[in-house]
Amino acid sequence: MKVSLVISTYNWKEALKLCLLSVTKQTLIPTEVIIADDGSRMDTRLLIEDFQHHFPCPIKHVWHEDDGWKKCVIMNKAFAICEGDYIIEIDGDIIMHSHFIQDHISEARQGYFLVGSRSKINEKLSCRLLQEGNYQLSFLTKGVYRKFNALRLPWISSLFHSYKQNKKERGCNISFWKKDLLEVNGYDERFIGYGFEDIDLPARLRRLGVKKRFIKFKAIEYHIHHKAAATKKDMSTNEKIFNENNQKGIIKCPKGIEQYIT
C-alpha cells in the first residue's frame, strides 16, 4: 500500500523543520511527503529544498501565491497529486511520535477514516525546541500537557475505537482512503479563512457511509504552541456554510478536488 503524508504549512519554517525531522525518525517511512503550502515566503521553499537532498522519501512542495487563508484550495491541490492509496493529514506545527505513521497504517480499514488526538507543548518549551531544533519528546517531558494524549499504549487502543464518535474532528491528525476523499470531492473551497473546513470534510465522509475509527493511545503527536488563528466572530461565515451542508445532507461538495484532477 502506498501512503502519502500531507502536511499543511504557512510561513513557519522553524515548526515545519521539526515536523519534517520527526518524519525522518518514523519506524515506517511514508511513500511520499507532500507539503501543502498556502503561500509561504522563500525561506520555507529553501528549507524544503534542503530536506529534499537527504530525505528518506520524496518530498513534493505544492505552493500558490499568498491570497489570505486558502487552506482548502492548497490541500485539494496537494491531494490531487498524491500517489498514495492512503492519505495521512497533519499540520506543519506538529511533531510526530516515531510510531505515528505505523500506527495509522496498522489501524487502516476499508470503509473507515481514522482520527487521533494530540498532546500540546507549552509556550516556554515550544520556544526552546524551535530555537534548538530539538524534536525529542515524550509524555514525561516537562512542558508537555494533555499528557493522557501523549501516552502510547497500543495493546489497549482497540478498546477505544468507538470512543468520541460525536466529537468534531480536526485535520491535524486524520487519515483516509484516497478513493473516499475523491467521492466527497475533498475540501469544500467555499470555506474561506479559518474554521469549520476540517470539521466539514469528516462530516461528509460520514454521510458517504465511511465510519470513524478513533485511535486512542496510538498515533501520538505534539502540537507546538502558537496564538489562536481566529476568533469565533471571524468564523461566522464558515459556520453558516457548515450548517447548510449538514441541513442539506451534502456529501460531494460543489467546489473541490475535481478541478485539479487531470
Beta bridge partners of 174: 89, 115
pLDDT for 133-190, tens place per residue? 888 898 899 999 999 899 999 888 877 776 655 555 666 899 999 999 999 999 999 9
pLDDT surpassing 90 at residue 5:
yes
Question: Mean per-residue pLDDT for 32-41?
Answer: 99
User: How far apart are the two ends of the chain, measured CA to CA in Å?
Assistant: 23
Give the pLDDT of residue 134: 86
Average pLDDT over residues 54-82: 97
pLDDT of residue 171: 64
Q: For cell 528549507, what's the residue?
A: 47
Q: How confident is the model at residue 228, as a pLDDT?
A: 72
Q: Residue 34 pLDDT more than 60?
A: yes
Whether 156 contacts 217, CB under 8 Å: yes
- pLDDT, tens digit, for every residue of 97-136? 999 999 999 999 999 999 999 999 999 999 999 999 888 8
Collapsed DSSP state (helix, strand, coil) of residue 1: coil
Work out the mean pLDDT of the chain and round it to a whole number: 93
Q: Rounded mean pLDDT of 229-236?
A: 66
pLDDT in tens, 38-52: 999 999 999 999 999
Say whether pLDDT at 234 is over 70.
no
Cβ pair 188, 255 in contact under 8 A: yes
Gap between the Cα atoms of 208 and 85, Å rounded: 18
Which 3-state string (H, E, C) describes 2-61?
A: CEEEEEEECCCHHHHHHHHHHHHCCCCCCCEEEEEECCCCHHHHHHHHHHHCCCCCCEEE
87 neighbors 113 (Cβ within 8 angstroms): no
SS3 228: coil
Asked if residue 42 lies in contact with residue 29, where contact means CB atoms within 8 angstroms, the answer is no
Q: What is the pLDDT of residues 202-232, one digit of tens each?
A: 999 999 999 999 999 999 999 999 887 655 5
Quote the pLDDT of residue 194: 86
Query: CB neighbours of 231 closer than 8 A, spacing ≥ 6?
Result: none
**pLDDT at residue 262 greater than cutoff 80:** no
Q: Kindly indicate the confidence band of residue 95, based on its pLDDT and cuts at 50, 70 and 90.
A: very high
Q: pTM here?
A: 0.95
DSSP conformational letter for 168: P
- The CATH architecture assigned to 3-260 reads Alpha-Beta Complex (3.90)
| Residue 252 binned pLDDT confidence (cut-offs 50, 70, 90) | very high
